Amino acid sequence: MAIVKTDRHPDLPPPASQTGVVGWLRENLFSSPLNIILTIIAAFIAWEALSTFLSYTLIHANFAGETKADCTDTGACWVFIKARFGQDMYGFYPPEERWRVDVGYVLAAIGLFFVLSDFVKNKKWPAIYLFGFVPVACFFLFHGGYFGLEVVETSQWGGLFLTLVLASVSIFVALPLGIVLALGRRSDMPIVRMMCVGFIELIRGVPLITVLFMASVMLPLFLPEGVNFDKLIRALVGMSLFSAAYMAEVVRGGLQAIPKGQMEAAKSLGLGYWKAMGLIVLPQALKIAIPSIVNTFIGLFKDTTLVLIIGLLDLLSIIKAGTTDKNWIGTATEGYVFVAAVFWVFCFSMSRYSIWLENKLHTGHKR
């Protein structure tokens, strides 16, 4: 009689306490007495914060109604946002013309989708569409005055629409201009270099609020009376130049990380300066710089709220103005929570896209 088992016993599943949810909890949250205590404390704090937040924003919040008097429960008065939603999104843009903004959004969204995603490999036409056609089309759509569209002056632009215009124009101008400035700063030509260094250091040395203030308060005084640049254009120029200076330093950081040998190898293959830069050095440099570039974009997006000080009513300031409507006094918290949520959605999406892009372009030198 053989008592020796000849065939292998099939593997048993790991004990229930080591797998699944229970195993994960034991491993990560309750592995030692100290961790048990910490977990309980953390859970308590999280519960306290979350339950207050949820009860304010959802459970006891007011959604139905038209006026502040309809907000009878203790939580947030979302009626405020609902009643003024159009204004928060489009500012003083005439309601019957708001479709033009929506069309602009759709045009831009189509372009962004094809340029940013992997859907088509050859980005030439999408890029021409997004960077050539869309800005021109959006200008005619938003401002009007041609093709039978009624003129909507920029003083009527506001809300999230204005925030997006400010952010996208600044980003659109800042990246190319920043690259040029970064190359200029590393140039061998002394005059070009000095001009670029001077510009970058001058702009980077002052706060954005000063640039905006300068553009909006001082500039009109230097101009002859009656000559007035559009307020929005002044803000756009200020913001674009400001972010270009920052972008230049970000790009320069990327450029400096590329070994000199890359440029030398490119030149030895017979490539000129622009081809070597455009085909060999810049693609690598920009790839390294992605996290910082996106970081700058996110910062820029949030900085757009500073236009409040020159009297442009972007998303944040139009909501602030709304809370001073005598029928809506005391809704400041709702307004700020809403603005925070909108900003978070935009910034978080940018951040996620940058991570996706980094992974896509990852070629093995990541540490």
Partner 1 sequence: MKKASFLAVAATATLMATAASAATLDDVKAKGFIQCGVTTGLAGFGAPNNEGKWEGFDVDFCRAMSAAIFGDPDKVKYTPTTAKERFTALQSGEIDVLARNTTWTFTRDVSLGFEFIGVNYYDGQGFMVKKSLGVKSALELDGARVCVQSGTTTELNLADYFAANNMKYDSVVFDTADEVREAYLKDTCDVYTTDKSGLYAQRSVIANPDEHVILPETISKEPLGPLVRHGDNEWGDIARWTLNAMIDAENLGVSMKNVDELKKSSQNPSIQRMLGVSGDLGDQMKLSKDWAYNIIKMVGNYGDVFERNLGASTPLKIERGLNAQWNKGGILYAPPLR
Q: Which residues of the shown chain bind partner 1 in the complex (CB under 8 A)?
A: 83-84, 86-87, 91-92, 155, 213, 216-218, 220-226, 228, 231, 308-313, 317-318, 320-327, 329-330, 332
Question: Nearer Cβ to partner 1, position 178 or 322?
Answer: 322
Instruction: Tell me how far, at minimum, the Cβ of 201 lies from partner 1, in Å.
Output: 24
Question: Nearer Cβ to partner 1, position 144 or 220?
Answer: 220
Read off the tokens for 149.
């569209």
Question: Nearer Cβ to partner 1, position 80 or 246?
Answer: 80
Question: Nearer Cβ to partner 1, position 134 or 303?
Answer: 303
Instruction: Tell me how far, at minimum, the Cβ of 229 lies from partner 1, in Å.
Output: 10
Instruction: Tell me how far, at minimum, the Cβ of 239 lies from partner 1, in Å.
Output: 16
Read off the tokens for 324.
């001073």
Instruction: Tell me how far, at minimum, the Cβ of 297 lies from partner 1, in Å.
Output: 27
Question: Nearer Cβ to partner 1, position 98 or 193?
Answer: 98
Read off the tokens for 34.
């100290």
At 35, the amino acid letter reads N
Q: Which long-range contacts (CB under 8 A, 24 or more apart) does 36-43 make?
A: none
Question: Nearer Cβ to partner 1, position 62 or 354?
Answer: 62
Phi, psi of 132 (to 5 degrees): -105, -60
Instruction: Tell me how far, at minimum, the Cβ of 148 lies from partner 1, in Å.
Output: 22
Question: Could you give the residue ranges of the DSSP H alpha helices within the chain?
Answer: 20-28, 33-54, 79-83, 85-90, 98-116, 124-128, 134-143, 159-185, 190-204, 208-213, 219-222, 231-257, 260-268, 273-275, 282-303, 315-323, 332-361
Instruction: Tell me how far, at minimum, the Cβ of 193 lies from partner 1, in Å.
Output: 34
Read off the tokens for 3.
């008592």
**Residue 8, number of CB atoms within 10 A of its CB:** 6
Residue in this structure with the two tokens 């659109």, named with its chain if needed: 172
